[in-house]
Amino acid sequence: MGKNLAEKILQRYCSEEIKKPGQIVPCRVSLVLANDITAPLAIDSFRKMGATKVFDTAKIALVCDHFTPNKDIASAEQVKKVRLFAREMGIVHYFEGGNSGVEHALLPELGLVGPGDVVIGADSHTCTYGGLGAFATGMGSTDIAAAMALGETWFKVPETIRVNIHGDLGRYTTAKDLILNLIGRIKVDGALYKAIEFSGPILERLDTEARMTMANMAIEAGGKAGLFPSDQITVEYCREHGRKEADLLKSDDDAAYALNLDMDVSGMAPQVACPHLPDNVHSVEDLEEIRVDQVVLGSCTNGRISDLREAAQIIRNNKVDQNVRFIVIPATPGIYSQALEEGLLEIFMRAGAVIGPPTCGPCLGGHMGILAAGEKCLATTNRNFKGRMGSLESEVYLGSPYVAAATAVAGRIIHPERL
Amino acid sequence: MHFQGKANKVGDHIDTDAIIPARCLVTTDPFELGQNCMAGLETDWIKRVSPGDLMVAGKNFGCGSSREHAPIAILGAGIPAVIAHSFARIFYRNGFNMGLVLLELGEKVEQISDGDRLEVKALEGEIFNHSTGATIHSLPVPEFMAEILARGGLINYVREKVG
Ligand code: SF4
């Protein structure tokens, strides 16, 4: 019996033979990640474990991105703790201030993750790197502390759902719409404990950034990982981002899957997830008139340069509705300067947007765009749980950069075509 | 691994933002986190809990972020175990790592109502409902997880390896 993608990648880092899903196996890791919220707990656990040094100073990434630039004294103390630990341990990949950005946009951009890697992070959206063909998954701080000390962890080999995606993409239909549609179908626990492997002819139409957008939201269906095979598109991305080696990886023809899903995306309109779960997904055309107070373009889902470009296409020569706060947050300093160079930031500013520094910011209700009771926001982020962006009585809708930009202009959720 | 307490029921898909909202994540102190346990579900939820109470939840409990603050907040609120239809994956790992007992019941979770008095034998996976007189069996705790629990969590488990 052949191996699917998850099994293949895990096998590269595991000395035991991987035979079937459900097997619990020890596994080495290529990179261990934590952020300013989860690293402080990991550091506590690391010390309590009696560890005095990390397994490899170049295989740990500590990214201060959630409440940064530090929003208050408590968050400043947390970052300080992470900084001091990074110095003490000699950790090479420590990010804060001008070199920091949203972790899952930052690490691929710097070539720190690539196909065939096994990456674990104390952040649920670590699964983003599946867009590059890495087996990447989120864990808690103490699991991460153990891996920082030992360079290994354990996995239950997941079952895999394979999604075969085909058809023609509409003018304004993007990777975000595909993943929202999938979550709407299989629901927030549809991939619980499982990996999702994306396949089919549509892959040729998706660049690496688009693939990362989709892998990013695997967790919103409960998934352990969202995986893309690595192909020429991946190899090209890696080369451009300073990574010399990039293996081509795909599942074996006779690999086993828990479920095979078929998705024909022809004629699919942009999708929107309505409050308060990411699986409450509707076609934008079916939504009644919904006025919004705020639009957020950013995050590890859709804060990359391609997302900014798409939004700018819509914003160009338009004005943001006077009742809307349009907040644009390039996910990393690299994306920020690229957007500056291409004139995108000027387009946003002239239209009346607010541009924030690279941070998670409002995505998790941290800062820089918190909602009051009764307010509604359309965001390109990945979660719309109750209270996620502020008041328990506020509402978050999730959509693509095209829909976000069109909504900012119209003041209500709208199909970009109808602007 | 033997608990007795009142069942506090919550619904399906209780996410980590409901268990402990992001604005409360500027600390790692269990007591402080415990004071805000379930603050994203309902203001002052914690007021209805007495130490030793158990939480009983629906499907996919703990979905969302990887924040370990979630099981810590539950433990900090004085709740030693969560019984649910099912758990989200990261939360499941985190719970055991922190020494929070998690029991999965599937549909049988319906046999427990809010306020029922429960007696739980965690490692045996046995729950006695004093309010109804019924005994309910949970899915077995995976051997590896039981081993971590027996050592009081992952920290002690790794300490033996590091030392
Ligand atoms: S951008 Fe949002 S989802 Fe992504 S890592 Fe930051 S808080 Fe999490």
Domain boundaries, chain A: 5-263, 271-418
A5-263 with A271-418: one CATH topology? Answer: yes
Using a CB-CB cut-off of 8 Å, the residues of chain A touching B45 are none
Closest-CA distance of chain A to residue B90, Å: 6
Pairing of the two strands B117-121 and B126-129: antiparallel
Of B40, B93, B155, the CB nearest to A45: B155
Write out chain A's pLDDT in tens, 419 residues.
Answer: 899 999 999 999 999 999 999 888 999 999 999 999 999 999 999 999 999 999 999 999 999 999 999 999 999 999 999 999 999 999 999 999 999 999 999 999 999 999 999 999 999 999 999 999 999 999 999 999 999 999 999 999 999 999 999 999 999 999 999 999 999 999 999 999 999 999 999 999 999 999 999 999 999 999 999 999 999 999 999 999 999 889 999 999 999 999 999 999 999 999 999 999 999 999 999 998 999 999 999 999 999 999 999 999 999 999 999 999 999 999 999 999 999 999 999 999 999 999 999 999 999 999 999 999 999 999 999 999 999 999 999 999 999 999 999 999 999 999 999 99
Backbone angles phi, psi at A198, to 5 degrees: -90, 135
A157 closest CA partner among A29, A255, A22: A22
ipTM for the whole complex? 0.90
C-alpha of residue B74 to centroid of ligand 1, in Å? 23
Sheet bearing A259-264, strands edge to edge: A225-227, A195-199, A160-166, A259-264
Q: What is the CATH number of domain A271-418?
A: 3.30.499.10
Closest-CA distance of chain A to residue B117, Å: 29
Q: Which of 3.20.19.10, 3.40.50.740, 3.30.930.10, 3.40.50.300 would CATH assign to domain B2-162?
A: 3.20.19.10
Q: Please state, in angstroms and rounded to a whole number, the distance separating the CA atoms of residues A65 and A303.
A: 13
Peptide bond into A125 cis (omega under 30): no
Helix-, strand-, coil-residue percentages of chain A, each rounded to 5 = 35, 20, 45
* Helix (H), strand (E) at residue A195: strand A195-199
Domain boundaries, chain B: 2-162
Closest-CA distance of chain A to residue B59, Å: 8
Interface contact flag, A365 B161, Cβ < 8 Å = no
C-alpha of B133 from chain center? 23
**Mutate which: A35, A64, A75, A141, vs B, most B CBs within 10 A:** A141
A66 closest CA partner among A114, A44, A34, A89: A34
How many helices (DSSP H) and strands (DSSP E) are in chain B?
6, 7
Kindly tell me the burial class for residue A268, based on how many C-beta atoms sit within 10 Å of its own C-beta (0-12, 13-18, 19 or more).
middle
C-alpha of residue A300 to centroid of ligand 1, in Å? 6
Largest CA distance in chain A: 61
C-alpha of residue A216 to centroid of ligand 1, in Å? 10
Q: What atom of ligand 1 comes closest to residue A363's alpha carbon?
A: 2
With a 6 A CB cut-off, is A332 part of the ligand 1 pocket? no
Tell the CATH superfamily of the A5-263 domain.
Aconitase, domain 3 (3.30.499.10)
Q: Please state, in angstroms and rounded to a whole number, the distance separating the CA atoms of residues B113 and A394.
A: 30
